[in-house]
Every structure is written in structure tokens, then in C-alpha cells.
Amino acid sequence: MKKRAYKILDLVFIFTSLILAGFLFWQFQGNKSSWVVKEKSVEEKNTISLPYIDKLTGLPSNQEEDLEPIVMTIMIDNNPESYPQSGLNEAKIVYEAQVEGGMTRFMAIFAKHQQVEKVGPVRSARPDYFDWAKEYGLPLYVHCGGSPAALSLLKTERGLINFDEFYRSSYFWRVNSRYAPYNLYTSSSLWQKAWEDFGREAPVWQTFLFGQNITTTPASKIEVPYTKNFKVSWEYEPEKKAYERFVNNKKHLDDQEETTTASTLIITKNKVKILDDVGRRAISNIGSGEVYIFADGKLTKGIWKKAKPEFRTRFYDENGNELSVPPGKIWFMSVPEEVELEVL
């Protein structure tokens, strides 16, 4: 009898152990599943794509206004007396071209809804920039005075909204720490007010063909010798995935002591005519010429074409296929045809 009782107890113990083991296994699997779900949800959260594409940069965005932005174009000085400038790193696109004296001047492109505390020094208009500005619909063209040719053209120009500080001074301010004309600034809050007061419905404008070009030509450093005394160079920084700008071998710093950068650099060669003894220029940006597109430390060569002032400048390879503009902060440089670039 005792042996039979022990056998029964052994069976009960084994049966109970099996039930307990099954329960614990079930619990473990359940918890493991929940861990997997949690892990997956974090992964999904980290890979959620942004719903919009910025029309100016081609980058993903969480702002619906980036789909069809109203554009501000602002003339910014690049004379050494203007250093350090404000707002160039916040600009989505920058155009750079030579003016009298051999130095360059910038036209910085912003979306109206951007928040930028300080942009400048704001300087005078030049007609060469008008045809680039008109590629962005009906932008506010912000400047302070201009060359005689520019001011004459602006009187009848219908592709831009002429916004001159000479007549709209309340939308600008001057700082006492600098002397004129290198002390004039504006901001997003002021240009947003300016658009409310003077803006007009802008037509839909065409953007770039954004994408990546197939190229293996390395380009980690680019040198642009505008003159003997003024050389611009760019060096690719892989960690930033951007080119850092240098002027005469020194980093081009802004007023926050941040290096001026661009992720996509587009250099066009243009015919240039000297107009007078002052050195004012006429840059031919209607027609075609050589183009050099730099991104991700690589170079793509091609041809730029622009048929009319309001048409988008397009880029093509030797077979006539349109080249892409790599997404990101874009910096255009117009250089005279005779300038020899050095690419390393």
C-alpha cells in the first residue's frame, strides 16, 4: 500500500511540475512577444517618413508650407567689411556672382514661413540676379538701392516684387557696431509683415529635378580663383555630408562662429561683359554653358540651359539627358568662362 501511495504522489508531483513548467513557458513566450512588439514599435517610430517634400531643397519636411513656399530673395554683401554675415546658413539656396571690384555678392533664398532672427548685411541690387530670382514665381526681392541699370529695370519689372529699403525702411534695422553700408539687416518677422502688406498671389513655379547622379569622379576640394586676391574654396566634410566654405584659405564663419556650408554646390560658367570703368558687369545667364555639380564628395559635369528669364535653369549630360540636383542646401556659383576651377 505504501509503495502504491508513493507512486501516486510521484505521478501527482510530475503532473504538477509539467503544468507549472507549461505555465512558465507560456508566460515567458508572452512576455517575449510583448518585448518584440515594443522593440518593433520603436523601430517603426524611428523610420517614420516625413509627409512632405521641401520644394526648395528636395528634403523631407513636416511642414505643409514647404510644398509650395512663398519665396524671399535677399541681397547680402560679401565685402570683407561685411564679415561675419548673418543668415547664410539658414538660407535654403544661395546664388553667388561677381560684382564690380572682383568681389562677389549673394542672393539668399528663404521660404516666407521660415523663422530667422537676422539676415544681412542687406546690400544693393544688381540686374544679373533678377533672372535667377524669377525662377521662384513672384518673389519678394529685398535690397537696399542698386546700380543704375538695376534700379531702372526694377521700375518696370513684373516678375519680382521690388522691396527697396530706401522706401521701406521700417522693415529693416541698422546696428551701431558697424558703419554703413555694412550695417543693414532684416528678419523673418519683418519680411512676413512685408508680404502681408505688399505681397501678391504668386504663380506656381517649377522646381529642380531632385535626385542623385551616377558619378565616381572624386571631388573633396574645389578651388574657385575669382581674382588673384579673392579665392573661394570648398572642402567636403563626410561627417556633415556637406562642403565647408573657405575664403582665401580661411574658414568662412557667420556671426554665430559657424562655418558656412552647403550640401550641394553647383558652379556654372557664364559669359561676362564689363560695362563701365567702375567694373559693373553683365552676366549672361540666358543660354547655355558648362556646369559642375558637386555633392557627397563627387563631381558631375554637364551643360546648363535656360531659355527665358522665368524658366528654371536645367542641367544636362553630354547625351542630352537631364541631370539631377542632389537634395539639400544648394549653393550656386556663377564664374566667368575663363576662370579655371581646381578640383581635387
Query: CATH code at 167?
Result: 3.50.90.10
Do 339 and 228 sit in the same domain of this protein? yes
Q: Quote the pTM value.
A: 0.86
Where is the domain boundary, 143, 171, 198?
Answer: 198
Do 224 and 335 sit in the same domain of this protein? yes
Residue with cell 568681389: 103
DSSP 8-state secondary structure symbol assigned to residue 318: T
- One DSSP character per residue, 233-295 reads EEEEETTTTEEEEEETTEE-B-TTSPBPEESEEEEEEE-EEE-STT--EEE--SEEEEEEEEE
Does residue 111 sit in helix, strand or coil? strand
Closest Cα to residue 49, out of 36, 34, 60, 38? 60
pLDDT in tens, the chain (344 residues): 444 444 444 544 444 454 444 544 444 444 433 333 333 344 444 456 899 999 999 999 999 999 999 999 999 999 999 999 999 999 999 999 999 989 999 999 999 999 999 999 999 999 999 999 999 999 999 999 999 999 999 999 999 999 999 999 999 999 999 999 999 999 999 999 999 999 999 889 999 999 999 999 999 999 999 999 999 999 999 999 999 999 999 999 999 999 999 999 999 999 999 988 888 899 999 999 999 999 999 999 999 999 999 999 999 999 999 999 999 999 999 999 999 999 99
Per the structure, how many domains does the chain have? Answer: 3
Do 44 and 135 sit in the same domain of this protein? no
Do 44 and 67 sit in the same domain of this protein? no
Is residue 237 assigned to a domain? yes
Per the document, the length of the chain is: 344
Do 180 and 144 sit in the same domain of this protein? yes
